Structure 1
Amino acid sequence: MHIRWLGWAGVELEARGERLVIDLLGRPEGVLEGTPLTGVPLPKVVPPRGQGNVLAGLCTHLHRDHADAGALSRALAPEGVVLHPASYGGDDHENLWTLQAEAELAAHDLPRRAMNWWETTTIGPFTIAAVPAVDALGDPQVSWAVEADGTRVIHLGDTMYHGYWWRAAHRYGPFDAVLTPINGPTVCFPHCQPPSPYPAALDARHAAVAARLLQAKTAIPIHYDGFHSDLYATRPDELARFLDAAEGEPYEVLTPGLGEELLL
Structure 2
Amino acid sequence: MKVQRLAWAGLFLQEGETVILIDPIQQVPAPTSHVVGQPLERLTHFSKLPRPSAILTTHLHADHFDPESAIQAFGHDLPFFVPHSSLEATLQKGLTQVTGMNVGDQTKIGEFLVTAVQSIDGFGNPQVAWIVETKTQRVIHCGDTVWHGYFWEITKRYGPFDIAFLPVNGAVLDIPTHQPPSRLPACLTPEQAVEAAHILQAKKLVPIHYKTFHHPPFYLETEDLEKRLQQAARESQVEVMMAEAGDFVL
Do they superpose with TM above 0.5?
Answer: yes
Matched, 1:236 2:229: no
Deviations along 1:189-233, whole A, 9 cap, x unmatched?
A: 222222222110001010000000000001100000122121222
Pair 239,77 (structure 1): closer, same or farther in 2 beyond 3 Å: farther
* Stretches of structure 2 lacking an aligned partner (at least 5 in a row): none
Matched, 1:137 2:123: yes
Matched, 1:200 2:198: no
Contact 2:36 2:213 in 1 (8 A): no
Corresponding residue number in structure 1 for 2:236: 249
Pair 242,79 (structure 1): closer, same or farther in 2 beyond 3 Å: same
Corresponding residue number in structure 2 for 1:180: 166
- 1:243 shift after superposition: 2.0
Q: Per the alignment, in what secondary structure is the counterpart of residue 131 of structure 2?
A: strand
- 1:78 shift after superposition: 8.0
* Stretches of structure 1 lacking an aligned partner (at least 5 in a row): 90-98
Contact 2:163 2:204 in 1 (8 A): yes
Pair 111,25 (structure 1): closer, same or farther in 2 beyond 3 Å: same
TM normalised by structure 2 equals 0.89
Pair 4,231 (structure 1): closer, same or farther in 2 beyond 3 Å: same
- 1:79 shift after superposition: 6.0
Matched, 1:27 2:27: yes
Query: How many residues matched?
Result: 249
- 1:158 shift after superposition: 0.2
Corresponding residue number in structure 1 for 2:18: 18
Corresponding residue number in structure 2 for 1:62: 60
Matched, 1:262 2:242: no
Task: List aligned pairs for 1:152-231, cutoff 5 A.
Answer: 152-229=138-215, 230-231=217-218
* AA at the equivalent of 1:208: V
Identical positions, percent: 36
TM normalised by structure 1 equals 0.85
Corresponding residue number in structure 1 for 2:8: 8
- 1:71 shift after superposition: 3.2
CA distance in 2, matches of 1:256, 1:35: 24
Q: Per the alignment, in what secondary structure is the counterpart of residue 60 of structure 2?
A: coil
**Which structure shows the higher strand fraction?**
1
* AA at the equivalent of 2:226: L
Instruction: Give RMSD over aligned pairs.
Output: 2.5
Q: Per the alignment, in what secondary structure is the counterpart of residue 114 of structure 2?
A: strand
- 1:75 shift after superposition: 5.6
- 1:149 shift after superposition: 2.8
Consecutive aligned runs of 4 or more in structure 1 exceeding 6 Å deviation: none
